[in-house]
Structure 1
Amino acid sequence: MNNLTAGQQPNLTCAKCGITLTLGKVTLSYLGSSFPVELFKCAKCGLVYIPEELANGKMKQVEAALEDK
């Protein structure tokens, strides 16, 4: 669960580069559909952090909707 209050940002570090992740625009793709979102990513290598809540929540719903088509 997310214990951050409104306006707080998590202190996330890239596992590959060791630098702090920053919020930026990312394009997620699945089954030929693309979705622009803002997520934390590494400015050096591009690694993107997808929070568990997003992966198990909204992304799972979108996945199910696309597979049903």
Structure 2
Amino acid sequence: MSIKFTQSCPTCGRRIDVRASLLGCTVACQHCGAEFIAQAGGGSPVGRDQQDELFARVEQALRRAEASAAVPAE
């Protein structure tokens, strides 16, 4: 399962799902073919440090979810 985020194409405005592993990379819109930099939150492209921090937060959230799912209901 890949982690994705949603971003609007700056050319056609349609929302597309982008794999988190592509943050900071050039991607193409499936609808109009325009190329742009994948970025979370609509700001500047995500740097390597920010990407590593994002992945660390996602990993923590997944571990918490797995731990809470493993606790048997009483």
TM-score (norm 2): 0.30
Which is richer in helix?
2
Which is richer in strand?
1
Asked which structure has the greater CA Rg, the reply is: 2
TM-score (norm 1): 0.31
